[in-house]
Amino acid sequence: MRKKMIQFSIITIFPNMFNPIFKYGIIRQAIKKKIINIKILNLRDFSINKRKTVDDKIYGGGPGMLIMFLPLFKAVINAKKNYKEKSIVIYLSPQGKVLKHNHIKYFIKKKHLIFICGRYKGIDERFIQTQVDEEWSIGDFVLTGGELPAMIFIDAITRSIPGVLNNKHSLIEESFNNDLLDCPNYTRPKNIANHIVPSILLSGNHKKIKEWRLKHSLKNTLLKRPDLLKNKKNKK
Ligand code: 4GN
């Protein structure tokens, strides 16, 4: 069990979008067990004008608005002030490094992750240059905001923290560890319209079951994601 919790801070103009991820399943339990803590900062609280806006027109013209430097800067100072542990400021954007399962072990070592959720056309470049430590992406597509990527980061990191998932083996044998997909899994009943659970899985022979699972993990990977096997070869 880890001694220190991971602190997540999120800077967003839509704080209520995050309510659902606190309330359900593994994340809810991890918060209850004080393995993680999540603090949401409403960027509008750090607005520098009376109308509480945080965006402005883009220099050089063109459609769309940009989030201003100063509200973001003030929000990050506030996020850092609340926790003395070393923090990393992460900007979520399609220009970031694309998250892969093997990056998660890097994040679970961190004490405090501050996620900046962009909206509109993004944020002032000077904030990225001077305040952001790392720019990350969840994949090669564009969303309306960084909120969903922040939730995905928090979900993927939290479930990998030792002590969060009850079953130690579920982390070792799941998809993507060792760059392989999971094998097919079955539960009751044994027979669904003559689709019968493979008999080895009912045999109780653990060695045979392990072999079957590895074989079908390889088969799944070869059929569905052959690119993962190529990665494996290149690494060695
Ligand atoms: C991140 C943010 C996609 C990702 C985003 C991603 C908000 N879309 N692939 N949308 O991780 C331009 C500036 C779009 C803000 C950004």
C-alpha to C-alpha distance for 144 and 162, rounded to whole angstroms: 33
Q: Mean pLDDT over all residues of the chain? A: 94
Q: Is 94 touching ligand 1 by the criterion CB < 6 Å?
A: yes
Q: Is 118 touching ligand 1 by the criterion CB < 6 Å?
A: yes
- Residue 167's pLDDT is 63
Q: Is 151 touching ligand 1 by the criterion CB < 6 Å?
A: no
Counting every residue written for the chain, the total comes to 236
Distance from Cα 25 to the centre of ligand 1, integer Å: 26
- Residue 169's pLDDT is 57
C-alpha to C-alpha distance for 3 and 175, rounded to whole angstroms: 28
- Residue 172's pLDDT is 61
Closest Cα partner for 67 from 41, 46, 87, 50? 46
**What domains, with CATH codes, occur in the chain?**
6-159 (3.40.1280.10), 174-235 (1.10.1270.20)
- Residue 104's pLDDT is 97
Answer whether residue 189 shows pLDDT above 80. yes
Best residue for ligand 1 mutational test, from 90, 103, 142, 153 (most atoms within 8 Å of Cβ): 142
Mean pLDDT of the 198-203 span: 98
Q: Whose CA is nearest to atom 13 of ligand 1?
A: 122
Mean pLDDT of the 12-34 span: 96
Answer whether residue 181 shows pLDDT above 60. yes
Mean pLDDT of the 196-201 span: 98
Q: Is 145 touching ligand 1 by the criterion CB < 6 Å?
A: yes
Assign 236 a pLDDT band (cuts: 50, 70, 90).
very low
pTM comes to 0.94
- Residue 176's pLDDT is 79
- Residue 227's pLDDT is 95
- Residue 231's pLDDT is 74
pLDDT in tens, 222-232: 999 999 998 77
Quick one: which atom of ligand 1 is closest to the CA of 119? 15
Beta strands 87-98 and 65-67 are unpaired
Distance from Cα 120 to the centre of ligand 1, integer Å: 9
How many CB atoms within 10 Å of residue 61?
6
pLDDT in tens, 98-129: 999 999 999 999 999 999 999 999 999 999 99
Q: Whose CA is nearest to atom 11 of ligand 1?
A: 137
CB-based contacts of 2: which residues, under 8 Å, 6+ apart?
35, 161, 162, 163
